[in-house]
Amino acid sequence: MTQSTQVHEPTPWPAVHLGLPRSRSGTAGLSSVELDHAARMTAVRSGSLGSVHSWELVTAVDGPGTRLTVFLAGCPLQCLYCHNPDTMQMRRGTDVTADEILARVARYRTVFAATGGGLTISGGEPLMQPAFLARLLRGAKAMGVHTTVDTSGFLGSQCTDAMLADVDLVLLDIKSGLPDTYRAVTGRALQPTLDFGARLRDAGKRTWVRFVLVPGLTDAPENVEAVAGHVAALGDVVERVEVLPFHQMGRDKWDELGMRYQLDATQPPTPESVARVRATFRARGLSVY
């Protein structure tokens, strides 16, 4: 999940004991599952069980229309500006069955149909749990529900062709355009994200790109030009680019988790800076928001 313009408190998912609600509702209204270790690992490998951080029902944020956005726990990146660092570790999530999430999707089908919405799987990084993600996507598509995946693309190799076929829209978070800056922001390499982007292009997969503008970190003209170049190379599959101004609204969560927040002195970008960056993308013929 990339940094949005809002921070929401989670709706927790409650518990069925088996021997186991932007309204960001955490997992309230969903039943967690407690299994012995062997049974749990079997369920995880099959995709019938996953670790869920929270969920929300929101309009025009994580894709078109009103959407049920489910945030999975676990992320391989360590983004300095992450506004939900509690999603980084899978163990902080709640065990929830795919069937229960799909039952909630079914409950909102009339809302989705009326608004052009659907199901969005975010995180964390949803591709940390590929079998669970695949089960959710397949189940939603079987109901005729529009599907979106919000991903950094770093684990794109975990996305099978069958899984990608069940995705209607990808929200691709490109953290930086220069390899050194990408590593400074995330602790990881840029190339896997570029490789996944190329795969989306080759598959003709509808894509919205998100880029967080952080003063002193991602706003250097050469970095912005590099991001714009990478996005333009994806061609017509990119329907829009969202330039998201950095904020510190999730800063307290770092303190609560005992994690050092390195952007204390960083302020949001000026309107002039945001306008400059958006103009850079528009100069490449891209639609920018």
What pLDDT digit, counting tens, does each position of 174-201 carry? 999 999 999 999 999 999 999 999 999 9
What are the backbone dihedrals phi and psi of residue 229, each rounded to the nearest 5 degrees, phi first? -65, -45
pLDDT digits (tens, 9 = 90+) for 148-172: 999 999 999 999 999 999 999 999 9
Question: Could you give the CA distance from residue 196 to residue 24 in angstroms, rounded to a whole number?
Answer: 29
**Which pLDDT band holds residue 4 (cuts at 50, 70, 90)?**
low
Question: Could you give the CA distance from residue 165 to residue 123 in angstroms, rounded to a whole number?
Answer: 20
- 3 state DSSP class of 26: strand
Q: What are the beta bridge partners of residue 120?
A: 69, 148
Is 157 part of a structural domain of the chain?
yes
The amino acid present at 3, given as its one-letter code, is Q
pLDDT digits (tens, 9 = 90+) for 256-284: 999 999 999 999 999 999 999 999 999 99
User: Is 181 within 8 Å of 214 (Cβ atoms)?
Assistant: no
Helices (H) and strands (E) in the chain, counts: 10, 10
130-142 vs 37-46: helix crossing angle, rounded to 10 = 50
The count of domains in the chain is 1
Is 10 part of a structural domain of the chain?
no
Domain containing residue 118: CATH number? 3.20.20.70
User: Is 10 within 8 Å of 24 (Cβ atoms)?
Assistant: yes
Is 287 part of a structural domain of the chain?
no
Is 39 part of a structural domain of the chain?
yes
Is 146 part of a structural domain of the chain?
yes
CA-based end-to-end distance of the chain: 18
Domain with 257 in it: 15-282
Is 238 part of a structural domain of the chain?
yes
